[in-house]
């Protein structure tokens, strides 16, 4: 810096704006003006940009594109100071708030929360921020509960939440029949109840170029099955099939408790009657039982359940072909290739069973060539399992619990001496209670992990004994191969990736067949 020249601080502002287009435009313009005026009022500050996120939740940082862009710029030295109106605008997750501000502080970058009168560069900044962040997080939880309650009441009144479905128009929470798409739904139920398989229905829909609706890219087995099980087509409505597990993660999980869902019979006009829908459910159950019966024999072939397509990820299926002399050859296919062919399915190769088994035998000989290395690697796996996936820091955790209890006691003393208010005491006490609870939970996880690792160690020991036995055999049986194979990936151009259990890298082979 030249003598007599004051180095300006590069100051950025962060805000969240409405998702409504017009409101967003007005809000963004107003906040831009507000922050520019605020920054320009300080003679040693210069405006380094406004970073506005749409009015999405502040509890999930991954969805906040502009926030993350701003933090990256700060880490890269392009921002010296960040300002925002209040803690709840920055983040409603206490852990994220403190984690980000602490890391910024180590780089000499402060965060000013204008309405809360907090500057993380000051000595008591983090203490006050912790209190306000905890308040914001609790407020977020309460807001989430209010939203859930409101949605539940809406569901009970018949308001439809979520995306639209094929065959219906969804407008302001009400379902009306889309006659053009309804005919497709009726066709699917008709074909299914006439005995056609779901895979065959998909093939027919694709071949006839029948549109699959705006929410789908193409017809698949899964979305046809979804149509067959969706009660909306019978005029009923079941909601809350999924629910948000936590207001912090916003992760949706399947609701396994039917009594916790909201079900309204005859909610809207039906596309198929209840009798047809009920028959479809019975037929699905009947076919599932048949598949279950067949699956008992799904391991009768040595590679059953082990084949995977390297192109589309589908599982492999086996089919028999017969030569002119009556001899049978088994082939392994990608399921998509077998069902739809190379034109509309997958473009992977098929492989005959003899060639595949020959490749596996060859791969095992490569392992045999380095058998000492393999056994050493497995011994290393045992040691890793013995040490555990979660480091055993039980003593350190117990010490942290002890310190948290001491801090709780000091907070009570501070309140008794009038240094903090009752509200601040309760917030800090709650923070330490949460920390203690989390530490106790971690200790329990460590102990459970230790038990799992003992079991893993025992299993690995059995695998080593089995491989030693296999490596001593000159010509192992297919069943023996199956006991140590993890999977076989079929790739294009007659390439294979063969994975063995507890061996980190696959054996990659290329094969050619003749005759």
pLDDT tens-digit series, residues 163-187: 788 889 888 888 889 998 999 999 9
Counts of helices then strands in the chain (DSSP H, E): 15, 18
**According to the model, what pLDDT value does residue 484 have?**
75
Give 418's contacts (C-beta < 8 A, 6+ positions apart). none
> DSSP character for 392?
-
> DSSP character for 294?
H
Give 224's contacts (C-beta < 8 A, 6+ positions apart). 188, 198, 201, 202, 205
Q: How far is CA 26 from the centre of its chain?
A: 35
**According to the model, what pLDDT value does residue 297 have?**
42
**Mean pLDDT value across the chain:** 77
Are the C-beta atoms of 64 and 51 separated by less than 8 Å? no
Which range has the top average pLDDT, 307-311, 312-316, 384-388? 307-311
pTM of the model: 0.39
Whether the predicted pLDDT of 247 surpasses 50: no
Q: Which has more pLDDT, 435 or 25? A: 435
Mean pLDDT across the stretch 251-280?
80
Whether the predicted pLDDT of 5 surpasses 60: no
Phi, psi of 58 (to 5 degrees): -85, 0
Share of the chain above pLDDT 90, in %: 12
The structure tokens listed for 437 are 């609870």
Which three-class secondary structure state does DSSP give residue 97? Answer: helix
User: pLDDT-based confidence at 290, cuts 50/70/90?
Assistant: low
Mean pLDDT across the stretch 209-216?
79
**According to the model, what pLDDT value does residue 10 have?**
94
Delineate the domains of the chain, giving CATH numbers in brackets.
Answer: 9-153 (3.40.50.1390), 178-286 (3.90.1750.20), 297-392+450-515 (no CATH)
Whether the predicted pLDDT of 154 surpasses 90: no
- How many Cβ atoms from other residues are within 10 Å of residue 232's Cβ? 21
Report strand pairing: 495-500 vs 507-510: antiparallel
What is the rounded distance in angstroms from the CA atom of residue 301 to the CA atom of residue 304? 5
DSSP secondary structure of 390-442: S---HHHHHHHHHHHHHHHHHHHHHHHTTSS-HHHHHHHHHHHHHHHHHHHHH
Cβ-based burial of 392 (10 A; exposed 0-12, middle 13-18, buried ≥19)? middle
The H or E element spanning position 272 is none
**According to the model, what pLDDT value does residue 456 have?**
54
Whether the predicted pLDDT of 188 surpasses 80: yes
Lowest mean pLDDT among 188-197, 288-297, 333-342, 494-503: 288-297
DSSP secondary structure of 43-74: TTEEEEEEEEEES--SS-GGG-HHHHHHHHHH
Whether the predicted pLDDT of 465 surpasses 80: no
Residue 221 sits at the vertex; the CA angle it makes with 215 and 222, to the nearest 5 degrees, is 55
**According to the model, what pLDDT value does residue 366 have?**
74
Share of the chain above pLDDT 70, in %: 73
Phi, psi of 211 (to 5 degrees): -65, 145
User: pLDDT-based confidence at 285, cuts 50/70/90?
Assistant: confident
Which range has the top average pLDDT, 65-79, 116-130, 257-271, 322-336? 65-79
**According to the model, what pLDDT value does residue 58 have?**
43
**According to the model, what pLDDT value does residue 74 have?**
92
Whether the predicted pLDDT of 224 surpasses 70: yes
The region that residue 144 occupies, defined by phi over 0 for left and psi between -120 and 50 for alpha, beta otherwise, is: alpha
Residue 311 vs residues 38, 308, 314, 357: alpha-carbon distances, Å: 56, 9, 8, 21
Give 400's contacts (C-beta < 8 A, 6+ positions apart). 435, 439
From 183, 268, 192, select the one nearest 234 (Cα to Cα): 268
Are the C-beta atoms of 36 and 47 separated by less than 8 Å? yes
Lowest mean pLDDT among 56-70, 275-289, 307-321: 56-70
Whether the predicted pLDDT of 248 surpasses 50: no
CA atoms in the 13 A half-sphere facing the CB of 134: 19
The structure tokens listed for 255 are 């609701």
Mean pLDDT across the stretch 432-453?
74
């Amino acid at each position: 810096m030249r003598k007599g020249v004051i180095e300006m601080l590069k100051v950025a502002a962060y805000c969240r704006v409405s998702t409504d287009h017009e409101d967003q435009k007005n809000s963004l313009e107003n906040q831009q003006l507000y922050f520019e005026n605020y920054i320009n009022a300080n003679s040693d500050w210069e405006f380094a940009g406004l970073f506005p996120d749409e009015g999405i939740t502040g509890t999930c940082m991954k969805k906040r594109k502009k926030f993350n862009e701003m933090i990256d710029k700060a880490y890269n030295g392009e921002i010296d100071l960040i300002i925002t109106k209040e803690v709840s605008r920055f983040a409603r997750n206490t852990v994220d708030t403190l984690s980000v501000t602490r890391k910024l502080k180590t780089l000499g970058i402060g965060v000013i929360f204008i309405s809360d009168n907090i500057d993380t560069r000051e000595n008591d900044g983090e203490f006050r921020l912790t209190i306000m962040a905890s308040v914001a997080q609790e407020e977020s939880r309460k807001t989430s509960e209010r939203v859930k309650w409101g949605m539940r009441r809406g569901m009970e009144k018949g308001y439809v939440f979520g995306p639209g479905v094929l065959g219906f128009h969804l407008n302001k929470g009400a379902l009306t029949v889309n006659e053009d798409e309804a005919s497709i739904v009726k066709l699917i139920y008709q074909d299914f109840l006439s005995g056609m398989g779901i895979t065959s229905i998909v093939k027919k829909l694709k071949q006839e170029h029948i549109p699959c609706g705006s929410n789908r890219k193409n017809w698949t087995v899964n979305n046809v099955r979804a149509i067959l099980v969706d009660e909306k087509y019978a005029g009923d409505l079941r909601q809350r099939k999924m629910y948000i597990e936590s207001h912090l993660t916003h992760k949706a999980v399947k609701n396994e408790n039917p009594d916790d869902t909201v079900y309204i019979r005859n909610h809207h006009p039906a596309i198929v009657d209840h009798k047809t829908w009920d028959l479809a459910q019975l037929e699905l159950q009947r076919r599932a039982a048949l598949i279950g019966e067949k699956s008992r024999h799904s391991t009768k072939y040595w590679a059953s359940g082990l084949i995977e397509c390297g192109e589309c990820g589908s599982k492999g299926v086996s089919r028999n072909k017969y030569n002119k002399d009556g001899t049978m050859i088994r082939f392994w296919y990608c399921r998509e290739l077998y069902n739809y062919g190379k034109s509309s399915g997958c473009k992977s190769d098929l492989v005959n069973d003899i060639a595949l088994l020959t490749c596996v035998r060859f791969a095992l000989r490569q392992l045999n060539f380095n058998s000492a290395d393999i056994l050493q690697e497995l011994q290393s796996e045992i040691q890793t399992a013995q040490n555990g996936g979660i480091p055993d820091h039980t003593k350190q955790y117990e010490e942290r619990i002890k310190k948290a209890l001491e801090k709780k006691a000091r907070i009570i003393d501070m309140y008794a001496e009038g240094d903090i208010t009752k509200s601040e005491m309760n917030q800090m006490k709650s923070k330490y209670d949460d920390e203690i609870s989390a530490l106790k939970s971690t200790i329990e996880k460590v102990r459970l992990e230790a038990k799992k690792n003992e079991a893993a160690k025992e299993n690995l020991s059995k695998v080593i004994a089995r491989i030693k036995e296999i490596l001593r055999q000159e010509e192992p049986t297919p069943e023996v191969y199956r006991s140590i194979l993890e999977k076989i990936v079929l790739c294009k151009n007659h390439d294979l990736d063969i994975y063995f259990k507890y061996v980190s890298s696959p054996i990659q082979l290329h094969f050619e067949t003749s005759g």
